[in-house]
Amino acid sequence: MNFYKMQGAGNDFVFIEDFNNEIEDECRLAEKLCDRHFGIGADGLVIVRKSEVAQAKMVIINADGSRANMCGNAIRCFGKYVYEHNIANSTKFSVETGDGVKEIEIILEDANVKYVKVYMGNPSYDGHDIPLNNLDSLIDTDIIVDNKTYRVTTVLMGVPHTVIFGNDRDYDAIGEGSKIEKFHLFKEGSNINFVKVIDKTHIRVDTWERGAGATLACGTGCSASVVVAKRLGLVDKDKEIYVKAPGGELIIDVQGNDVYMKGPAEVTFEGTTNL
């Protein structure tokens, strides 16, 4: 099996093609390939397939074998892959995901891919969409987890994200994020984003991801964090916001209810495996 290893702001993925739908147990395969000791090592497996509604279909499976509808960093890498492998014949094209069809724009510099821009869709605070247990919404509200109080806002940005602002303290993304993920109000768990506001156009985000753990960056998480920060009036509502994650920087633009993400994507290596 041929594979590509790619990363976006440090969030890394194994890419394989499956145009004829030959993979039988893709969740088990993800666990094997993503294992950092006995496999290739990655936060997730991305499968490239044919689509009847877009130029290509992205299937993403987390390192623990669980499925994800959408991943911001993965789809940027996917956009670069599709463009550079001539699956799409334009710098603007669409990709089918578990969260619907996403529009991609390849931004070139000297004929090379500098950034990939993705239309991330519309956020939803609706408790049915997220989904929440018996709750219409969870916006700027205190919850208690493991005897600690957190002021949270939860939004669906392709996948559920809970955003916590805290310039006055440091959070443990692993120790605290893993516990908040399982909070009883989250019907299917939640990704957790710990956010510090640097100024009106810059924030820092550390994310605990369902199925992957603490990652170096999370595109949907950075997008969700900006959406919530704008809603709460913590950043400029009319400007692009620069988001610093441990693995790099993303640029998030919110136009009305539409969210756009821009950032890098790189191939780290390629090879073959018989796992």
Residue numbering of the annotated binding site for substrate: 11, 62, 72-73, 191, 209-210, 219-220
* Amino acid letter, 250: L
Q: What is the DSSP letter of 29?
A: H
Distance from CA of residue 129 to its chain's centroid? 17
Name the active-site residue from 34, 71, 77, 222: 71
From residue 110, how far is each of 22, 83, 113, 265, 268 by CA, in Å? 38, 15, 8, 16, 20
Binding-site residues, in ranges, read: 11, 62, 72-73, 191, 209-210, 219-220
> Max Cα separation, the chain?
54
> Helix (H, G, I), strand (E, B), or coil: what is residue 166?
coil
34 in catalytic set: no
Distance CA 152, CA 224 (A): 12
**Complete DSSP assignment for 71-125:** -HHHHHHHHHHHHHTTSSSSSEEEEEETTEEEEEEEEEETTEEEEEEEEEE--B-
Q: Report the SS3 class of residue 255.
A: strand
| C-alpha to C-alpha distance for 121 and 101, rounded to whole angstroms | 9
The catalytic position among 34, 77, 218, 222 is 218
Cα–Cα distance measured from residue 105 to residue 92, given in angstroms and rounded to the nearest whole number: 5
Q: How far apart are CA 263 and CA 117, in angstroms?
A: 7
Active site members: 71, 218
